[in-house]
Structure 1
Amino acid sequence: MSADELKSLGNKAFSAKDYTTAIGHFSKAIEIDASNHVLYSNRSASYASLKQYTEALADAEKAVALKPDWAKGYSRKGVALFGLGKHSDAAEAYQAGLKIEPENAALKQGLEDVENAMANEGLGGLGKLFGPDVWTKIASNPKLSPLLAQTDIVQKIKDIQANPSAINMYMQDPRMMTLLMGLMGLDANVATADADEAPAVVPEPAPAAPAASSAPKQTPVPVAKEEIPEVEMDDEETQKKRKRAESDKHKDLGNAEYKKRNFEAALKHYDEAWKADETNVAVLTNKSAVLFEIGKYQETITICEQAIETGRDLRVDYKLIARAFARIATSHHKLGNLELAIKNYNHSLAEHRTPDTLNKLRELEKEKKEADRLAYRDPKLSDEARERGNELFKNSKFSEAIKEYTEAIKRNDQDPRNFSNRAACYTKLMALSEAEKDCDAAIKLDPSFVKAYIRKAAILFTKREYTKCIDLCNEAKERDTEQKHTEEIENQINRCMFSLNQIQQGDDTETQKRAMQDPEVQEILADPVMQTILQQMQQDPRAANDHMKNPAIASKIRTLINAGIIRVGR
């Protein structure tokens, strides 16, 4: 499989929370394409989900090294460092990502979580006392263990474990202070309730009233806000800023003209914008949109290639690069270059995966498959392949004949003879399922093609489905308007009747024993509806005629007749 196919499998496994399988798929994909930063990022996420943070960090750093301007790589790195307890380093990773993508919600949340953790670490270390082993410490301390019977204290301990800063809310509870002293190894008298009694409820103290004072109220002295000196830009920075402002002004004018569908005017403004600042890559992608609208697809491709080359040098947003690849793909599609269109859609998805681009790729792949099929179609070559297959069939070289008939089908899948002849080969090789499918395909193409009916009837006979075989032979007789195959059809019906008669006259016990080993027979007999119908048929044999009018019931009754469960003519 390709790296993209393995990545897709990995993503599915990750979504199903099968992280170990996901890691396996991503690892195989990396063996094929070790330069794809997304693969390392996805594997990092899988490792982190298994709390294997060392491996997650290694992959995250690789993703960042391959694509330093990709914000998600820093997010993966932050998660791994956070998991390893390296909070300061995790914060730096999140901050580095936010420099690239300031509004990234995941990076913002990650940084906030790290800062909260760092703040909790600073609470005198008290939060660390409530680690996973706190229950063992409390239970092993005779003065603290009675607290485990008090549900409100137990809940408070759980709250602090979930959020160490919650300790501030519970410090007014004297039992909590005693608990802290005990956990720190200090002696204290613990006020507890008997385990069999309801825990004592400690009321929250009312806020203290301000003490009366005759001293004059002092006005707080305002603290002067520190002035932050403005950083002076050098001449080069000033020039860059001026160029970008001029470029953006023309770009906005071009956008306005584009919306009005004044394409010539829009192109002039975009050209002016690019002259003003040749680092403003968005100008090129906007210009390519205009060229696409007016049908200049080759020029669109050239401009987009320029945008990609310039954008990579300047490390612009990967979404911009993805947009340029997608427009190259749509241009190639318009020009009829389906293979190049598919290739560029894949490049776009590698930069930034969007549902719209993915849907376009899938539709294009279907279109190319159909185009390839039609391009390969040649009825003359199909006939030649079928004739070669016929010669091989006569010489009993059935496997080689199948290859030729398959080639004939590829060259012309509208000729029922190709399917019928291949079915004959499959039947000789006892590949009855494939043979039956080919007969069905031939009948679907030409419902009057009697030979296909006869071949399918032979398959049903071989499968000991005698009643179905008889029904199909009767249908073949109706289709055989010129009565060319009457004798062949009648012979097949007679063989079926003889075989059914043998079953009917066989030993009842042995026949039923064999029949009950058939899963299909077991399922029919276990059906309450069929049980009722069989009882009706036993009481009144004429009831069978009414039930046979229902195709589904008729099929099940034939199966039971075939198996010898239902006896007829006795």
Structure 2
Amino acid sequence: MEAEDGRAAEAQREKEAGNDAYRKQYLETAVDHYTRGAALDPRDISFLTNRAAAYLLMSKYRECVRDCEEAVERGRELRADNRLLARALSRKASALLKLAACAADYAPAIRALQQSLAEHYSEDTRDKLDQAETARKEIEERERLDQEAADHHRQRGNELFQRQNYQEATAHYTEAIEKNPNDPRVFSNRAQCHIYLGNLPKGLEDAEKCIELDPTFLKGYVRKANVQFLMEYYESALATYIEGLKCDPNNLVVIDGLRRCAACINRSNGGDVGPDDLEDILGNVSSDNDLRNKLQKLMEEAAALKKEASDERLRRIESERMPGHQRTYI
């Protein structure tokens, strides 16, 4: 019992020292005192809320949120005074509001303020809630207007694309991206414009961004593979087409792309690509045996077409060598 009383008294001294350092704006020192106090008396959640206040002034908002959440959880287990819980939730909301200014997401702060008011009503907390809700509405309205502008520029870009005016279409797609940088369709469309304009590195960059935004958007893989094919990176294009095949195993554009890649790889290797070569080409791109079997079949088809063309050429040469054959010159 005496030991517990001694620890509680020492914890109180740490709190007083922390409060004194906090008032003097020695925030790191205050955090150290509150941390030692919390270890000495874990039943007193004020150590956590006080440390959270220091973190808030230090702009360590995530640490502040963490301490407030721990204070609320521990306080409810200990059935602490509702005002202490409300204070922790309000302080958490203050940190979340700072984070919201960067992330433009006020929902977590609003939720924390509502919870704080449910624990204990405070005019200051009510004012914070009103301000947060106003800020959220302003952001939502701005996002709505930006989305309308993005849609307008995307549609205008599509019209110009249909007219083969790729330069102006690219400009409108760029405007759309500035208003809404999270639409994979616009990156896909602009990538195709770059391809037609011969700007392959930019096309590759947009295609990769499209895939990053939506890994299930097939056109992103098609655009990327097209660029790689045009750059004569046939094995890379092959790998990209395989990734696209996972989105739609029966897509004719992708299957045709695989055939073209297989044919080019066959031609550059001077013959057929066997199973061992296929492993080297694919690396760890796919562990799906069905995809590997399908690709092998496509490569075999490409090799057969190559052989058929070669045999036809030989027959034509032999025919020209036959007696009585007359050449016709144009």
TM-score scaled by structure 1? Answer: 0.25
Higher share in helix: 2
TM-score scaled by structure 2? Answer: 0.43
Q: Which structure would you say has the larger Rg? A: 1
Per chain length, whose mean CA-contact separation is higher, i.e. which structure has more relative contact order (CA < 8 Å, sep 6+)?
A: 2
